Amino acid sequence: MAGDFGTCGWRRVAGRGIADWAAAARPIAETAVTESDQAWRCGGTWFVGLDALPNAPDGAVGGVALPWAELGLAPEPLHPAQLSVTRPGYPRQGTEETEAAFRFRLNRDGAHLDGLLPVGPEKRRMVKEAHGWILGLPLNPADTGAAPLVVWEGSHRIIGPALRAAFASCEGPPEDHDITNAYQAVRRQVFDTCPRVELPGAPGTAVILHRHLIHGVAPWRDGATADPPGRMVAYFRPLLSSVTDWLRLED
């Protein structure tokens, strides 16, 4: 299943360069997770792993270049990749999570839009990280089927117009504009109208998500396995220069 980016909001690519990059990154990622002082969340079943992979700004790791051409992406400076790792039992309710938030993670895969961060004591949603795209690179040596990425296909075609409308009356810096109500309303529309699709991570493949695509992580299936430290995916999300660029119509 490759996906059509314009229609589905995601596409999967495969190639030798991607497989080589993942093989080089895997042991470095395992060490980074094991030695990190970042806390495991969700009752010890999810390692968020922000900026955890010590890759170079061009994406190279362990002496292996990130295969930009194979990925179909234009090279640009990258942050250290996130290493998102899940363990058997994901998700469990952690002390950092309310009952309602845990139920949403369990029943709706923690569906979210990257870049919208909860601000203040009331956790109002604002676009604090205007990502250009999302690239996920599975690092396990085999497709475990454990806690796969979930997307709501075509949701970017609903989210984009709704958020552009929400920003139409914006006064002041757009990154400080509260879009909580508009976001929650359009996300409910997404759940009602867009197909939920699981995208297990096969070795030697990568998945690219549109910046406006609603996505999440499915619970760990009974019987699924993954070698320690767990099901592991490296994510890159380079930033755009502004929220205005993030809102633009073009892919």
Q: Rounded CA gap, 218 and 106, in Å?
A: 8
Q: Which residue has the tokens 């250290």?
A: 80
Residue ranges for the chain with pLDDT beneath 50: 1
pLDDT of residue 199: 95
pLDDT score, position 162: 96
Predicted local confidence at residue 170, as pLDDT:
86
Give the per-residue pLDDT at 188.
98
Say what the pLDDT of residue 182 is: 96
Helix (H, G, I), strand (E, B) or coil at 188: helix
**229, 84 in Cβ contact below 8 A?**
no
